[in-house]
């Protein structure tokens, strides 16, 4: 076994603390990765605090992993020692269901193997994530990192980047389309940058005026503070696509009214409590309410290559592992600018 040093929550009420554990020895198709950086996603907090239910402990969170190949199994031809690589939100899937066969492996019908807070495919070993120094992953679930993306900035692309890229592509954000991004956090700020690169007209909808300058600097054309409820009438029937990245409960019915006829509101934020939907606000303009989860392995590689080509990078605050608990508190207060990334060498 490989000795790993990480940072874990031992229960839903415990803070993140140093934790030693073992990774499996590499099988023939595995890649051993020295983790250099890991992003902090709000999902880490929801899961470590068991806000979605069903969490398993001890939990080493982290699914925005950027690192360098330390060793490879005997059958590996795609990667070699020293390659720059990434790992996102899942590390395996069944590979044979209809979705896996159609490059929709994030929606594996038998269930993905989450990078942490779940079990390996044997149903026995706990999967453990990127708040650690090393990880062992089957090569099919490893991403190649383009040379021009520094590893610290690469990390947030592996969840925040792909979670916005996938619905923006699926709902065809592009020239002539008005796109709204609700919540300017880790996911939201990637949404602004990617939607702009795709040619869409982008509006940020944020709970206050505090992030206005940042949003405009990120090249959003418009910024609306939803503290002023008038925005919901002033901008009624004006968006083709709205993506809700908010991690808390907000009243969706306000937002449905912002959609044009046949417009779509896509949920990506996963609050602890359910949101209520008044069907009339969808029915009146044949609006769609949908959801989207991360992206497939193929689409994630496509997103990394797109971000490299378009020079799209997240805005990050790099921290030491000793600062994780304080960083989580700032994420919960919507005070991150705009993604914390843990430097695992510190």
157 binds Zn ion per the rule CB under 5 A? no
167 binds ligand NAP per the rule CB under 6 A? no
User: Residue 87 forms beta bridges with which residues?
Assistant: 65
Q: How many Cβ atoms sit within 10 Å of the Cβ of residue 12? A: 13
Residue 147 zone, left/alpha/beta (φ > 0; ψ -120 to 50; rest): alpha
Residues 21-54 as b or e (16 or more Cβ within 10 Å = b):
bebeebeeebbbbbbbbbbbbbbbbbbbbbbeee
Q: Which residue has the closest beta carbon to ligand NAP?
A: 185
Q: Look-up: residue for tokens 């696509």?
A: 241
269 binds ligand NAP per the rule CB under 6 A? yes
E strand segments, the chain:
2-8, 17-23, 30-39, 65-72, 84-87, 90-92, 113-114, 118-119, 126-127, 134-138, 143-144, 178-182, 201-206, 222-225, 239-244, 259-267, 288-291, 316-319, 339-343
184 binds ligand NAP per the rule CB under 6 A? yes
CA proximity to 39, closest of 156, 133, 143: 156
187 binds ligand NAP per the rule CB under 6 A? yes
User: Residue 72 forms beta bridges with which residues?
Assistant: 31
Per CB under 6 A, the segment of 9-17, 120-128, 146-154, 178-186 that binds ligand NAP is 178-186
* Token representation of residue 35: 């983790």
Q: Which residue has the closest beta carbon to Zn ion?
A: 41
218 binds ligand NAP per the rule CB under 6 A? no
Contacts with Zn ion by CB under 5 A: the residue count is 3
* Closest CB to ligand NAP among residues 32, 192: 192
Per CB under 5 A, the segment of 65-73, 152-160, 170-178, 243-251 that binds Zn ion is 152-160
159 binds ligand NAP per the rule CB under 6 A? yes
178 binds ligand NAP per the rule CB under 6 A? no
Q: Please state, in angstroms and rounded to a whole number, the distance separating the CA atoms of residues 287 and 7.
A: 44
6 binds ligand NAP per the rule CB under 6 A? no
Residue 54 zone, left/alpha/beta (φ > 0; ψ -120 to 50; rest): left
Compute the radius of gyration of the chain from its Cα atoms: 20
Q: Tell me the closest approach of the beta carbon of residue 300 to ligand NAP, in angstroms.
A: 12
* Closest CB to ligand NAP among residues 73, 271: 271
Which of Zn ion, ligand NAP, none does 246 bind, CB closer than 5 to 8 A by kind?
ligand NAP
For the segment 33-72, give every residue that binds Zn ion (CB under 5 A). 41, 43
Q: Look-up: residue for tokens 């090393």?
A: 134
Q: How far is CA 188 from CA 7, 46, 146, 200, in A?
A: 26, 17, 23, 15
Per CB under 6 A, the segment of 15-23, 177-185, 230-238, 277-285 that binds ligand NAP is 177-185
Q: Tell me the closest approach of the beta carbon of residue 216 to Zn ion, in angstroms.
A: 26
294 binds ligand NAP per the rule CB under 6 A? yes
250 binds ligand NAP per the rule CB under 6 A? yes
Point out which residues bind ligand NAP (CB under 6 A).
41-43, 46, 159-160, 163, 183-188, 206-207, 211, 245-248, 250, 268-270, 292-294, 331, 334, 336
Q: Rule CB under 5 A: which residues touch Zn ion?
A: 41, 43, 159
């Amino acid at each position: 076994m490989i000795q790993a040093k990480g940072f874990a929550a031992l229960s839903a009420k415990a803070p993140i603390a140093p934790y030693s554990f073992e990774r499996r020895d590499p099988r023939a198709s595995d890649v051993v990765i020295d983790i250099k950086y890991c992003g902090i996603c709000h999902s880490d907090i929801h899961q470590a605090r068991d806000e979605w239910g069903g969490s398993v402990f001890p939990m080493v969170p982290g699914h925005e992993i950027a690192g360098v190949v330390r060793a490879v199994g005997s059958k590996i031809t795609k990667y070699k020692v020293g390659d720059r690589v990434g790992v996102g939100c899942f590390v395996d899937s069944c590979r044979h269901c209809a979705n896996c066969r159609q490059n929709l492996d994030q929606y594996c019908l038998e269930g993905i193997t989450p990078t942490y807070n779940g079990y390996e495919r044997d149903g026995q070993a706990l999967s453990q994530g990127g708040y650690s120094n090393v990880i062992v992953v089957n090569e099919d679930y490893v991403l190649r990192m383009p040379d021009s993306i520094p590893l610290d900035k690469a990390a947030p692309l592996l969840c925040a980047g792909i979670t916005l890229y996938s619905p923006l592509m699926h709902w065809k954000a592009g020239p002539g389309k008005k796109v709204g991004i609700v919540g300017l956090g880790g996911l939201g700020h990637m949404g602004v940058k990617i939607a702009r690169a795709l040619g869409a007209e982008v509006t940020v909808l944020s709970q206050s005026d505090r992030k206005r300058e940042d949003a405009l600097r990120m090249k959003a054309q418009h910024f609306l503070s939803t503290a002023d409820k008038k925005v919901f009438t002033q901008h009624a029937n004006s968006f083709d696509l709205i993506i809700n990245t908010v991690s808390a409960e907000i009243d969706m019915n306000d937002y449905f009214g912002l959609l044009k006829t046949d417009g779509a509101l896509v949920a990506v934020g996963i609050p602890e409590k359910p949101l209520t939907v008044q069907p009339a606000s969808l029915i009146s303009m044949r609006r769609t309410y949908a959801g989207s989860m991360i992206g497939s392995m193929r689409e994630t590689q496509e997103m990394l290559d797109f971000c490299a080509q378009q020079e799209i990078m997240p805005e990050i605050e790099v921290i030491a592992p000793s600062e994780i608990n304080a960083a989580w508190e700032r994420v919960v207060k919507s005070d991150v600018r705009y993604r914390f990334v843990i430097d695992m060498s510190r």
